């Protein structure tokens, strides 16, 4: 019986069919992966560190915040400056930084006049322009009253935000002592021609020399209306109320 196997060239079960050598099983996928990891250990560690760093950066970097467009001063601007596309630039700001009354389109600012100076990059709102926005924050019913001072040069001594008493002097007859009357006490100045003011739509006049605009309550506004035709008007600087 053994001779029969030998004559036909058959190998024993423990021998390779083609070579006659003992058979070897192929290494499994897990063994091959383990062998590759052992040979490239440093590369694997570097890759893992890079992946960890990327995840950390992604977690620490905040998501892009929603922004809105606002108009800001392109450079330092004086009070009274007339705005155009050369003086304002659009900027992106978070919605929480957008002040009430802010402008979002340069066309809405075209030709508007500043009531106060602006720093470069400062957002522009209606409270900084000559117009109804100057009354923002005042008592309900307040009015913006333009007054022409008897001494135009005195305008240089007052600036928007200061409190003044408006005094009228009506003693003009020869030999008669001038009588003074306080028409409005501690009213805030909103705008002055001495701050670079020019003719504006809000004032409705072609002559601004010696003009100031004050915020007055209804009773003060009634007394101030037309007062310049009854006598000479002056202002007196007063301290802030505490």
pLDDT at 53 over 90: no
Helix (H/G/I), strand (E/B), else coil: 143: strand
pLDDT in the model for residue 78: 82
For 12, which DSSP code? P
CA 129 to each of CA 7, 134, 240: distance values in angstroms, whole numbers, following the listed order: 115, 7, 23
Q: Give the gyration radius of the chain's Cα atoms.
A: 43
Residue-wise over 81-115: b if at least 16 C-beta within 10 A, else e?
Answer: bbbeeebbeebebeeeebeeebbeebeebeebbbb
Residue 195: predicted pLDDT: 58
What mean pLDDT do residues 194-205 have? 49
Higher pLDDT, 219 or 6: 219
> Residue 15 in 3-state DSSP?
strand
Provide the pLDDT confidence category of residue 22 given band limits of 50, 70 and 90: low
Is pTM beyond 0.95? Reply is: no
| 223 φ/ψ angles, rounded to the nearest 5 degrees | -75, -30
Distance (Å, whole) CA 38 – CA 130: 77
CA dihedral 194, 195, 201, 205 (to 10 degrees): 0
Nearest Cα neighbor of 157 from 118, 127, 131, 189 is 189
pLDDT number for residue 27: 58
pLDDT at position 1: 46
Nearest 5 degrees, angle CA 201-CA 202-CA 205? Answer: 65
Q: Give the pLDDT of residue 8.
A: 47
Inter-CA distances, 37 with 41, 194, 212, Å? 5, 81, 84
Task: Give the Cα separation of 94 and 60 in Å (integer).
Answer: 20
C-alpha 178: how far from its chain's center?
Answer: 51
């Amino acid at each position: 019986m053994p001779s029969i196997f030998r004559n036909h060239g058959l190998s024993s079960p423990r021998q390779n069919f083609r070579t006659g050598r003992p058979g070897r099983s192929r290494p499994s996928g897990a063994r091959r992966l383990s062998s590759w990891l052992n040979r490239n250990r440093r590369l694997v560690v570097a890759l893992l560190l890079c992946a960890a760093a990327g995840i950390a950066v992604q977690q620490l970097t905040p998501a892009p915040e929603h922004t809105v467009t606002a108009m800001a001063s392109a450079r330092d601007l004086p009070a009274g400056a007339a705005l155009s596309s050369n003086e304002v630039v659009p900027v992106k700001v978070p919605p929480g930084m957008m002040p009430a009354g802010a402008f979002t389109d340069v066309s809405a600012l075209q030709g508007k006049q500043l009531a106060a100076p602006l720093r470069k990059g400062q957002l522009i709102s209606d409270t900084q322009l000559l117009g109804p926005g100057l009354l923002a924050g005042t008592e309900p019913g307040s009015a913006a009253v333009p007054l022409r001072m008897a001494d135009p040069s005195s305008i240089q001594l007052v600036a928007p935000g200061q409190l003044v008493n408006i005094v009228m002097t009506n003693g003009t007859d020869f030999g008669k002592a001038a009588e003074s009357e306080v028409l409005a006490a501690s009213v805030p100045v909103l705008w002055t021609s001495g701050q670079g003011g020019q003719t504006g739509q809000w004032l409705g006049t072609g002559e601004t020399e010696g003009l100031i605009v004050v915020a007055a309550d209804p009773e003060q506004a009634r007394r101030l209306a037309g007062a310049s035709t009854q006598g000479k008007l002056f202002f007196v600087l007063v301290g802030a109320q505490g």
